[in-house]
Amino acid sequence: MDFHRLRAFVAVAEELNFRKSAEKLGMSQPPLTRLISSLEDELSTPLLERTTRQVKLTSAGLYLLKEGKEILSKLKAAESEVRAIGKIRSGHIAVGFSMTSFLARLPGIIDGFRERNPKLKLELQQGSRRNILAGIRDGSLDIGFVEGIVTGGEMESLLVKDETLGVLLPKKHPLAKRKEIGLSDLRDETIILHPRKEHHEFFDTIHQMFRQNGISPKTYIKAEGESCPLLVSLGKGVILTIAGSQNKVPGQTRFVPLAKLQMPVSAAWLAGNQNPLLKSFQSFVSETAVPGRRKAECLEDLMRA
């Protein structure tokens, strides 16, 4: 089904008159009749009932009219957006990101977009999930990359990647030899966390996740200037992190996945954002997103905005 035949069908279906439809489309009636007949042949079903007195839609025709109008409307909107984006020669997008999203996928997205659009400027700001979402709402950020699923009437979002969630352990730890572990295996471990004031969403999520599994974990709250991976290598405890962080940790540690757990990473923006570059950036993010297959359990239910 091509654009020309669909456009011709919608015109006839709205007018229910071949002569008027042909005039509307700027063509003669015989070619229009042939277009409709070829479309019916392609779909192997009649779309119109023709008599000497009237033209009526079949049930299949009614359905195609509804869907066809939506398709043509989207094509028209897409054409308009493409023309607008094509005229852009300069501008900037303010992009917020959490460290989790940076480790998951952000560098590749940023580098790829800059390669395609060398004259457009991306302003990058790191922050907590809470601050990034606040920045999107107040307009200081155009788009933000955060852990978890973003919901809310004024927000739109896209799942960028489902990251494997796991535990960073000292290399000589007994659990470091395993291919994967369960939360119950961490019952006697000390979990290293940032202070709650720095990232209360993740802090509360970890505690809730353990509580749901009947575990009251021991915690070590890192001090300012301390490095979580270095604390792990020194045997102070273990940290929950994502697979993408493995190239950022000391060699004396090992990442082991948690069974059936993942960390979704999302891109979020305000629905009413008028920055003309945003749609172009959204499209590129969508093109490069790799959500992967959903597993049985996920942190997304514990980290909704």
Using alpha carbons, select from 283, 245, 257 the residue that is nearest to residue 93: 283
In this prediction, residue 164 has a pLDDT band, given cuts at 50, 70 and 90, of confident
In this prediction, residue 210 has a pLDDT band, given cuts at 50, 70 and 90, of confident
Query: Rounded to an integer, what distance in angstroms lies between the CA atom of residue 106 and that of residue 99?
Result: 9
For 29-87, the pLDDT digits (tens) are 999 999 999 999 999 999 999 887 889 999 999 999 999 999 988 888 777 767 666 66
Q: Write down the architecture of domain 3-86 according to CATH.
A: Orthogonal Bundle (1.10)
Dihedral of alpha carbons 56, 61, 66, 69, sign: negative
**Which listed CATH number (3.40.190.10, 3.10.20.30, 3.40.1210.10, 3.40.50.720) goes with 92-161+264-298?**
3.40.190.10
pLDDT at 304 over 50: no
pLDDT of residue 151: 79
Q: What is the mean pLDDT of residues 238-255?
A: 76
In this prediction, residue 302 has a pLDDT band, given cuts at 50, 70 and 90, of very low
Query: Rounded to an integer, what distance in angstroms lies between the CA atom of residue 134 and that of residue 129?
Result: 9
Report CA-CA distances (Å) from 156 to 199, 274, 289: 22, 14, 15
List the Cα angle 302/292/215 in 5-degree steps: 30
- The model carries a pTM of 0.58
Domains 3-86 and 164-260 in one fold: no
Query: Rounded to an integer, what distance in angstroms lies between the CA atom of residue 2 and that of residue 98?
Result: 44
Burial of 118 (0-12, 13-18, 19+ CB in 10 A): exposed
Q: In the CATH hierarchy, which fold is given to the domain comprising 164-260?
A: D-Maltodextrin-Binding Protein; domain 2 (3.40.190)
Please state the domain extents for the chain. 3-86, 92-161+264-298, 164-260
pLDDT of residue 113: 86
For 175-184, the pLDDT digits (tens) are 999 999 988 8
Q: Could you tell me the two tokens for 238?
A: 């273990």
pLDDT at 254 over 50: yes
Cβ pair 215, 240 in contact under 8 A = no
pLDDT at 24 over 80: yes
Alpha helices (H) along the chain: 3-15, 18-25, 29-43, 59-86, 99-104, 106-116, 129-138, 200-212, 228-233, 276-288
Average pLDDT, the chain: 83
Query: Rounded to an integer, what distance in angstroms lies between the CA atom of residue 285 and that of residue 295?
Result: 22
Name every residue whose Cβ is closer than 8 Å to that of residue 262 and which is 6 or more positions away in sequence. 162, 163, 164, 165, 294, 295, 297, 298, 299
Q: What is the mean pLDDT of residues 157-171?
A: 86
In the chain, the largest separation of any two C-alpha atoms, in whole Å, equals 89
